[in-house]
Every structure is written in structure tokens, then in C-alpha cells.
Structure 1
Amino acid sequence: MYNVAEYINDLLFSVTHQTYENIEIVIIEDGSTDRTLELCNIWAEKDCRIKLISQANSGVSYSRNIGITHSKGEYIYFMDADDYIDLDYIENLTNSIKNSDIAVSGYVVHNSESEVKYLCVDEFPKKKDAFVAECLKPDTFVSGYLWNKLFKREIIKKTMMFNDRISYSEDTLFLIEYVLNCQKFSFSPKESFYHYKIRNGSSTISKYNRGKKSVLSAN
């Protein structure tokens, strides 16, 4: 995470108060110049499940790789650092992935004037080619995002880490590589959402299309 002091309390409250409590929370603090590190330390002192790693600014892909390396859980979940999740979100994703290789949830996009819900639908892609095609489409409930999906560590280990030499669509590239190694796909049918905030100003396009510094939570 990088310079998200304004948002970090909402994020970490939602993560630390999950109904599914058996999680580890790996935070990669990526050389922030605001109070992000200070606030991370406060939260880490309050919750022993938080593992805080602070580093010089290195970018989102490098940070995610560090997070994967330092996590131990069977499943891996990625968050953007200025968003939040419903309190039963991880529980529902964990239940959904038990008989599959990846689980997908619905999400809500918030801006200053409105919110839009993207729900899992009955026509959820069950075949690999169809799932990859959905990953390449903008504004569907699948799309090429990481933050509405739960991954298996064993598949990540077999496939790839993030390519830290690129800074555009690195999350979609990672996702497609992962999906190509999957056999079964599932979705969370419950209305338990990831809440995605589009900030006002110049960061909007950067966030929505390119990703940014992340929190990683593995369980």
C-alpha cells in the first residue's frame, strides 16, 4: 500500500472483523510519504494476525510477490488498499472455492455520486476459454481484476509470480496465466461484496485500469 492513510482504517476494520477469523493479513507498505506506515503499525499492534512489511517504493507487482512469499495460507486473496469488503466476504469466498480452483464474487463500484453493483449471474463461465474471455472484458462481474477472486496457493506456485517489469495490466496477465491452470470455476452466489472506490481526480483512470499498491490477505 502506498499513501492511503485516508482510507486504511476502513480497509483494515473490514479485514480484521471478518466472520471467517482464521486468516493472516500481510501488509506491504511500499515507501509511503504520509501516515500510512504509522497507521499500519497501530493496527499491527492490535491484531496479531497482521504481518507488516515496510520497503522502499518498488511498485505493485514487486509488492504482491513479496506478499505471496511471506504468506502461508492455502488460499490467497488480494485487496487494493483504499477499498473494503463486507464482513462475511472471506467466509463466502472460502466456502465457494472448496470444490474449484478459483472463486469469484460480485462487487460494488463507488464514486462520489453513485454506486453500481456487479452481480454473479447464472451464465457464469464454467469452461476455461469462456472464463479467459470474460477476464478480457471490462465492466463484467468477472473482468480482469484480482480483488473479487480467491486463489489457491498451490496453483500460483505452479504458474507464475507477478511480472514486476511491466506496470500496465499486470493483474490481468497474472489472472489469465492462473486461469489457464485451472480446471473448475465457482462463484459466490450470496450478496457479499468487494467495495471498490474510485477516487476523484487523476488517480481514477490509474486505479480502474492499471491497479495500484495492494494489501494481500491469505487464509
Structure 2
Amino acid sequence: MKISIIIPTYKPGPYLKDCLESINNQTMNKKCFEVIIVLNGVIKPYIECIYNLTKMYDFNSVVIPTETPGVSNARNIGLIRAQGEYVCFIDDDDKISPSYLENLYYKATPNNIVASNVKAFYNNSNKTENDYIASAYEKLAHKNAPLSVLKGRKFMSSACCKIISQKSIQDTRFDTNLKIGEDSVFMAEISKNVRNIILSDKNA
């Protein structure tokens, strides 16, 4: 297995279908990745809805319910289950472009993180805007060279929008005591195992 996609979700709305639809539209062979959905906090009636959603698609998936709420706990559960060489964290209200997984995996090496371009959208609109990570991407992508963790530190503020090797993660887990900033702490802890940050193609 090349990539394990970990999606934490809490009381998911219709946006989860959009997220899974974008995963189903990937150009990467579906046998090369798995999708781990961790439903945390409130289980019913959401669990049946998620099971029904996953039946619509032909990628490998597993749904794990936990009554313990929190994105950190959900991601940690996903990490325990993950079989992929690389891990890709996706939030349940994210959508990824068709070439996302294929492009990030093509550029990946065990000691590097591949970070994607990012666009913000609102209310399921097709209109997109740059956020702070997109601004950093536009500033640095033209150099077409690996970035040090220091120079690419804005990309280390979030666990999403990238793929990370299991070799870099090792036994590191998200701190379940933190309510904000848990991504930054997790990324800081694995940074000692990361040589460079590589940027994806712009359309990924």
C-alpha cells in the first residue's frame, strides 16, 4: 500500500460526500491507497450514513467509530491502523484535485515531506482564494528546489495538504490534551526526521 488517507470526522454534513468524491476521482490507481475514516464523538446516526457513502466508491476504505471526541485522538487511531508507506491527512470538508495523490507520491521520498498547493473555498462555491499557505506556495514554488524545514516552516503548521512518510512519523502521535495548535506541535516533533520540504505541482 502506497498511501493511507486518514479522515477524522465529527457529526459530518454533506461536505463529507464531496470529500470522498474527490478521492474517488483520483488519477492514482485505487489499489494503491486506502481511506481510513474515523468517526469520533457522536456515533449514531452518522455511522450508517458513512457506511452507505463508502459503498458508492471502489477505493479501499475502513470506518472506525470512537466515542472519544477530538481530531487528535481520531488521527492517532488512524495512524495505528494505517498500512501505507505514506500518510495523507485530509479533513472531512476538504476536496483534493484529481492529480493530488499521484503528484505528491511521485515527488515523495522517505526523508522528505511533499506539500501541496492550497486554495480556500466557502459554502461549496467554485470561487477560491489564497490562504497563508497558498501565498507561501506562490512565493517559493518558482524556485523548483527542495526547501529546508526552516524556509518551508509555514507548510509545517498543518498536518494536512501534504504526504508524510511513516519513516518520518515513526511513533509520534498528536497530543490529545491540546485543543488548538496540535498540528503544529505534531509537525515540529517529526521535523527532526525530515530533511526537506518539496512542493507539489501547482495543480495538485
TM range (shorter): 0.7 to 0.9
Tell me which amino acid in the other structure corresponds to 2:178. I
Give distance in 2, aligned partners of 1:70 and 1:125.
30
Alignment of 1:50-69 (within 5 A): 50-69=61-80
SS for the counterpart of 1:128 is: coil
| More divergent stretch after superposition (20-29 vs 180-189) | 180-189
Rate the CA distance shift 1:148–1:170 in 2: closer, same or farther, 3 A.
same
**What residue in structure 2 maps to residue 96 of structure 1?**
107
Q: Is the CA contact (8 Å cut-off) linking 1:5 and 1:34 kept in structure 2?
A: no
Of 6, 9, 24 in structure 2, the residue corresponding to residue 16 of structure 1 is 24
Matches within 5 A, 1:1-219: 1-20=9-28, 21=30, 22-32=32-42, 35-46=45-56, 47=58, 49-98=60-109, 100-112=111-123, 114-117=127-130, 118=134, 119-120=137-138, 121-123=141-143, 126-131=147-152, 134-135=153-154, 142=155, 144-157=157-170, 160-192=172-204
TM-score, scaled relative to structure 1: 0.75
TM-score under structure 2 length normalisation: 0.80
| Letter of the 1:72 counterpart | Q
Could you tell me which amino acid in structure 2 is paired with residue 31 of structure 1? Answer: G
The SS at the match of 1:13 is helix
In structure 2, relative to structure 1, the CA distance for the partners of 1:100 and 1:143 (3 Å cut) is closer
SS at match of 1:80: coil
How far residue 12 of structure 1 moved from its aligned partner, in angstroms, is 0.8
Stretches of structure 2 that go unaligned for 5 or more consecutive residues are 1-8
**Distance change in 2, residues 1:181/1:39 (3 Å):** same
Deviation by residue 1:50-96 (Cα, 9 ceiling, x = unmatched): 11101103211111000000110000000111121111111111011
State the identity as a percent: 25
Q: How many residues align?
A: 183
1:144: how far off? 1.0
Q: Which runs of 4+ in 1 moved over 4 A?
A: none
Q: How far apart are 1:100 and its partner, in Å?
A: 4.8
1: distance between equivalents of 2:148 and 2:118? 22
Higher RCO, 1 or 2 (CA under 8 Å, sep at least 6)? 1
Note the C-alpha offset of 1:143: 5.5
Amino acid at match of 2:100: Y
Deviation for aligned residue 1:186: 0.9
- 1:88 partner letter: S
CA-based RMSD of the aligned residues comes to 2.2
Q: Which 5+ residue runs of structure 1 have no aligned equivalent?
A: 136-141, 193-219
CA–CA distance in 2 between the matches of 1:83 and 1:57?
22
